Structure 1
Amino acid sequence: MEYLEVVTTVATKEDAERIARTLLEEHLAACVQIVGPITSMYRWQGEIERADEYQCQIKCRADHFKRIEESIARIHPYEVPEVVAHPLPACSSAYEKWLQTELRD
């Protein structure tokens, strides 16, 4: 089984917690770590922007990425939400067993 860490950012802790709870309730995530506030700088509509945000680090199965992307897009307040994934090439056997237990089809 392949696993990912999917990352998204939002403006408020409440939005981060809503995304986390939704993905956990849908069994698409085994764990969501909420980090923040962080400072993000980015180009948007021709301007350089700065924002304080909260980052969601979502542990999931690779084959769930599309469904996670759709769930985030459905509830995310941004016009273009960040949804990027990083592979988890290795993790401890105990953690992997826990992931398998928590993540369903």
Structure 2
Amino acid sequence: MSKILLIRTTVADAASADRLARQIVEERLAACATFAAARSVYRWLGKVETNDETEILFKTTLDRAALLKARIAALHSYELPVIEAWEAQVDPVVADWVYGATGDL
């Protein structure tokens, strides 16, 4: 198995997710982005809020992580975007694709 990095964030809607993901993939900071509908309950400014959001899961390399997180933060529409990251073990063929798609191969 080989290691890649998964980075997740949520945005307000599918259109925002598409714009952010497309920009990130075009810049070769991630090999791909996968979307999922999400419903979030959170405390913000002293109130409990509930909103529908779109989750984006990016597949990238360990070397691209810092750049990708910074770029998500720069392009994100939220005042406080949550950006989570963790390593994943994948088949070497998948890792080769991720590294090739991000220009690290």
Query: What residue is the counterpart of 1:68 in the other structure?
Result: 68
1:78 corresponds to which letter in structure 2? Y
| Runs of 4+ more than 3 Å apart | none
Post-superposition offset of 1:93: 2.0
Query: What residue is the counterpart of 1:19 in the other structure?
Result: 20
Query: What residue is the counterpart of 2:95 in the other structure?
Result: 96
2:84 corresponds to which letter in structure 1? V
Post-superposition offset of 1:26: 0.7
Q: Secondary structure at the match of 2:48?
A: strand
Give unmatched runs, 5+ long, in structure 1. none
Equivalent pairs: percent with the same residue?
33
Q: Secondary structure at the match of 2:33?
A: strand
Q: How many correspondences in the alignment?
A: 103
Which aligned pairs between 1:8-87 and structure 2 lie closer than 5 A?
A: 8-36=9-37, 38-87=38-87
TM-score by length of 2: 0.90
TM-score by length of 1: 0.90
